[in-house]
Chain A
Amino acid sequence: MSSESLRLFKKSVDGAYRSFSAKYGDAIEAVFDPVLYFLVWFEKLLHNSPWPLVILALLGLVYLGSRSIYLTIGSLFAFLFIGYFGMWDDTMSTVSIIGVCTALTIGFGIPVGILMSGSDRARAMITPILDIMQTMPSFVYLIPVVMLLGIGKIPGLLAVIIYAIPPVIRLTDLGIREVNKEVLEAADAFGANRMQKLFRVQLPLALPTIFAGINQTIMMALAMVVIASMIGVKGLGQPVLKAITNQYFTMGLLNGLAIVALAIIFDRVSQSYGKRMQQHRAGANE
């Protein structure tokens, strides 16, 4: 391709996309209004509630998930450290976007994973898309998202979801496909229909695997928080970005540590929850 026609090609694709987003951008943005509304409400709730109450609620969740008193005490110190160094509000913004993002990835990812597990053709179509989502440099797909929706919470949320959703989908698919064939045959023999098999046998037995996917998704979402801050997502990513551009080492380190602390807490809680679920599910025939 000559450089002239290449230039023309790029120009016309960009032009077409630009006119598409000018035409439909608002309509598409409106679709996300409920999500935005919820996200803002959730963030405000975390910001405006008195911090001891929020910490208490978070620690409650940590304990319920992990049943570990050590992790709960550790989390308490982590939150106190975050508050003491003035990172509380940013941390709460991050927690809220991670929370909403996790809910949305679960809401979309699990049905897609179920679809994939049920049909080899769907799997063959979806797998390459997931590969692209995971390997494409995230800056690249930030461009069309920003072109379409501008800068703000929703484009940031979309970028995080695109980056973080593949593990949930993949591991839902894997979990369901790995369900013991004999157990499935037993469900068939008792006359279970497709839905009964899915909800009473396949999903419950795949749950530990699905949960490993959710755990990975949360980790990837946290990693994406810094990049997403470039397109206007509030939270711990923004001070990190500021620290990079201004060479504020301590500021970068402190906020980075806060992200690490959140990551460790999310990871340990979801892992030990997943492990507890596994208790009776494996090895019944051994």
Chain B
Amino acid sequence: MSEVKIKIENLYKIFGPRAKEYTNKVKSGIDKDELLAKYNHVLGLDNINLDIKEQSIQVVMGLSGSGKSTLIRHINRLIEPTEGTVLVDGEDITKLNKADLLEFRRNKTGMVFQRFALFPHHNILDNVQFGLSIKNLDKSESKDKAMYWIEKVGLTGFENKFPNQLSGGMQQRVGLARALAIDPDILLMDEAFSALDPLIRTDMQDQLLDLQKNLKKTIIFITHDLDEALKLGDRIAILNGGKLVQDGNAEEILLNPADEYVSNFVKDVNRIKVLKIGSIMNIDGNMNESNPSVMVDESIENCLPTMLESESSLNVLDNDKNFVGVISKNNIAEILRRSKD
């Protein structure tokens, strides 16, 4: 579970004809705006170091222009790095030759795009089969696989329709099925749900989490929406101006934002809903048999009714019903006060 699947080390990307020459300038501390103003080169990524764990959902967040789409394209090398390494299962994919890179893309990574990028001249079945047909897989086998994924994403009966006959949400399900059909270890999702309207987006998020329970893929999910990040991400990496400013789980990001950029980002989040009891409980307290109990991985919001009815603090139990700490009204009040500042 905790094996590192993708290891990104000292990754730099500068866009422009003389990118290599300017990496040293960037290393010596020039920032994005200065590089653009003085040398007319665009700084895409600035010394990114990131470990992505196997079978986890790593969210990469940032405003537009922060380099998140650039970063995800380095994992399947749709963009060549200026400097640095990207290790997948210990293999440096920046060193792969052309043929090996094609093989890598055909087998290891599936990608889902913001604006779906379906093939408009293919029907749904052929769209989902695309990656398989690129691999020259046997026809009937590839059809079976495609039909399986079409069913999994709930589009049975639409195989013979064309993309322009489907709604946005349905098109993105096709995009998801197309990526999953090649059975990749790694799923790259570039703002996959950003173009969908809110209700459908929530739906798709739930579906993704549901699928992930069984699939256990390593998912890299790009988004600019913090609620989406908090809902999906096992870990959340935040980019600003090509720099990685923080990488951590939801609690770490909310409770200990690394800088002002991150704290601005998380300012409006409903902490009560997102934070789990475990992250604010008091582990020094003692078990009191007469007090009510709550579970450590419940959200604060869920325990609020119990809390408000109770005169005292609550016992916090883990999944095996062992006592792990106490939580009091003061703990919650402090979180609420902090988010107001």
Q: A285 contacts B115, CB within 8 Å?
A: yes
Known: A189-B109, A190-B130, A191-B102. A283 touches B164 (CB 8 A): yes
Q: A186 contacts B113, CB within 8 Å?
A: yes
What residue in chain A is nearest B116 (Cβ atoms)?
A285
Question: Count the A residues whose beta carbon is within 8 Å of the partner chain — how many?
Answer: 24
B14-22, B118-126, B230-238: which lies at the interface: B118-126
What residue in chain A is nearest B123 (Cβ atoms)?
A280
| B contact residues around A196 at 8 Å (CB) | 134
Q: B119 contacts A183, CB within 8 Å?
A: yes
Q: Is A246 an interface residue when CB atoms closer than 8 A count as contact?
A: no
Among the listed B105, B119, B121, B163, which residue makes an inter-chain contact with A189, where contact means beta carbons less than 8 Å apart?
B105
How would residues 243 to 286 of chain A score, 1 for a CB under 8 Å from any chain B CB and 0 otherwise?
00000000000000000000000000000000000001111111
Whole-angstrom distance from the CB of A194 to the nearest CB of chain B?
Answer: 10
| A contact residues around B130 at 8 Å (CB) | 187, 190, 200
Q: A284 contacts B134, CB within 8 Å?
A: no
Among the listed A188, A191, A193, A284, which residue makes an inter-chain contact with B120, where contact means beta carbons less than 8 Å apart?
A284
Q: With contacts defined as CB atoms under 8 Å apart, how many contacts are there between chain A and chain B in the complex?
A: 83
| A contact residues around B135 at 8 Å (CB) | 191
Q: Is B162 an interface residue when CB atoms closer than 8 A count as contact?
A: yes
List B120-166 residues whose CB lies under 8 Å from chain A: 120-121, 130-131, 133-135, 162-164
Known: A280-B121, A280-B164. A189 touches B76 (CB 8 A): yes
List B64-115 residues whose CB lies under 8 Å from chain A: 76, 78, 101-107, 109-111, 113, 115
| A contact residues around B116 at 8 Å (CB) | 284-285
Please measure, in the bound complex, the distance between the C-alpha atom of A196 and the C-alpha atom of B135, giving whole angstroms: 10
Known: A189-B105, A190-B182, A191-B103. A205 touches B113 (CB 8 A): no
Q: A185 contacts B115, CB within 8 Å?
A: no
Centre residue among A192, A280, A286 by max chain B CB count within 10 A: A280
Known: A190-B182, A284-B163. A201 touches B117 (CB 8 A): no
Please measure, in the bound complex, the distance between the C-alpha atom of A150 and the C-alpha atom of B271, giving whole angstroms: 89
Q: Is A4 an interface residue when CB atoms closer than 8 A count as contact?
A: no
| A contact residues around B111 at 8 Å (CB) | 186, 189-190
| B contact residues around A281 at 8 Å (CB) | 120-121
Whole-angstrom distance from the CB of B78 to the nearest CB of chain A?
Answer: 6
Q: Is A131 an interface residue when CB atoms closer than 8 A count as contact?
A: no
| A contact residues around B182 at 8 Å (CB) | 190
Whole-angstrom distance from the CB of B193 to the nearest CB of chain A?
Answer: 15
Q: Is A182 an interface residue when CB atoms closer than 8 A count as contact?
A: yes
What residue in chain A is nearest B184 (Cβ atoms)?
A190
Known: A191-B134, A204-B121, A205-B121. A286 touches B164 (CB 8 A): yes
Whole-angstrom distance from the CB of B53 to the nearest CB of chain A?
Answer: 23
Q: B134 contacts A186, CB within 8 Å?
A: no
Centre residue among B102, B117, B134, B178 by max chain A CB count within 10 A: B117
What residue in chain A is nearest B98 (Cβ atoms)?
A193
| A contact residues around B105 at 8 Å (CB) | 188-191
29 CB-based A-B contacts, threshold 8 Å: A182-B115, A183-B117, A183-B118, A185-B117, A186-B113, A186-B118, A187-B119, A188-B78, A188-B105, A189-B109, A190-B105, A190-B106, A190-B178, A191-B101, A191-B102, A191-B103, A191-B104, A191-B105, A191-B107, A191-B134, A191-B135, A192-B134, A196-B134, A200-B119, A280-B162, A282-B164, A283-B164, A284-B116, A285-B116
**Shortest 8 CB-CB contacts between residues of A and residues of B:** A191-B106, A284-B120, A191-B105, A186-B117, A284-B163, A280-B162, A189-B111, A182-B117
